[in-house]
Amino acid sequence: MESVNLSQLIKAKANELGFDLCGIAEAKKLHDAEAALVKWCNEGLHDKMNYLIRDPNKRSDPRILFPEAKSVVVTGLNYFTRNRQKNANAPLISMYALGKDYHDVMDRKLNELLDYIKSVVPEAEGRACCDNAPVMEKSWAVEAGIGWMGKNSIVINKNIGSFFFIGILLLNIELDYDKPLRDRCGNCNACINSCPTGAINCDKTIDAGKCIANLTINLKSELPEHIIPLMGRRVYSCDTCQEVCPWNKNAKEHTTPEFIISDKLANMDKEDWLNLDENLFFKLFSESPVGRVKFDRFKKNIVMIYENAKSK
């Protein structure tokens, strides 16, 4: 089968499976992405995420992870929703973590797409990746033309904005390849100016040591004293830089049932949150990305934001 026709079939199947975006790039080493990663880590902007500096050569070349790789299929799955926490004083949980864990949802869809490709091309082999392998998903999303890198270092698509998960299939077959898109951020600095902690640099990088998204999820020690007053109601990640982005102004509601917030979580008020125990935490978040954070850390974040509110 011609690579053009097969590529079209793959994109059509991706759409049928619920993916909102699909682009394809040639598997190769991303020299510029590797250099940017090394520079960022050498400047200490990766905070405590030391795993990111291990073997940058492997991160930038998918053929090391999957030696047979010839093509990189990049998918995007919208998670934007207006159906969020209803109480005006509730601790804020990032939009991407309101429903079930996206890793599970994306892995299932990616493997269904891989099964389909194998049914069309029996000799096809591949590997699915979604934040579970040393693959530079955002750089590949840009390479495959499904968006450009925003100034907040998040990939933006002109049609659906930036509230989408990125999933990747490494394949051992040649396909028809898409081209990167031009940067459309222009002179807009809304994300940089709106960051509560000034974590967004002017070169499309983030100072993770200042970033609320990183600190509320990955930090093992106590939160820095100067960050605490800037957290607002955020207890798990942060959506501010995306919420102010003009490309998200007309973001459409996602259509993935697994990402819908539960009624219990949506309706919790201040008293419910302050009385949260480990049992309820498990019930609410055992299938959510939030469950990756230990209960004690999460509860500390809750108490902290209400203490912040009192002091203002």
- Would you state the pLDDT for residue 125? 98
Provide the residue type at 67 as one letter.
Answer: P
CA distance 83 to 261: 7
Query: What is the pLDDT of the chain when averaged over all its residues?
Result: 96
- Would you state the pLDDT for residue 3? 67
- Would you state the pLDDT for residue 310? 76
pLDDT at 29 over 90: yes
Backbone angles phi, psi at 76, to 5 degrees: -130, 135
Percentage of the chain with pLDDT > 70? 98
- Would you state the pLDDT for residue 4? 66
pLDDT in tens, 107-130: 999 999 999 999 999 999 999 999
CA distance 42 to 10: 39
> DSSP letters of 244-259?
T-GGGTTPPPP--GGG
Beta strands 126-129 and 164-171, pairing class:
antiparallel
Residues recognised as catalytic: 131
How far, CA to CA in Å, does 135 sit from each of 10, 106, 113, 214? 21, 15, 19, 19
pLDDT in tens, 282-295: 999 999 999 989 99
pLDDT in tens, 35-48: 999 999 999 999 98
- Would you state the pLDDT for residue 41? 96
For 3-84+96-171, give the CATH class: alpha beta
Query: 53 vs 181, which has greater pLDDT?
Result: 181
- Please state the domain extents for the chain: 3-84+96-171, 190-252+260-311
- Would you state the pLDDT for residue 191? 98
pLDDT at 312 over 80: no
- Would you state the pLDDT for residue 2? 67
CA distance 240 to 212: 10
- Would you state the pLDDT for residue 309? 80
Helix, strand and coil in the chain, % to nearest 5: 40, 10, 45
pLDDT in tens, 220-249: 888 898 999 999 999 999 999 999 999 999
Please, what is the end-to-end C-alpha distance for the chain in angstroms?
Answer: 66
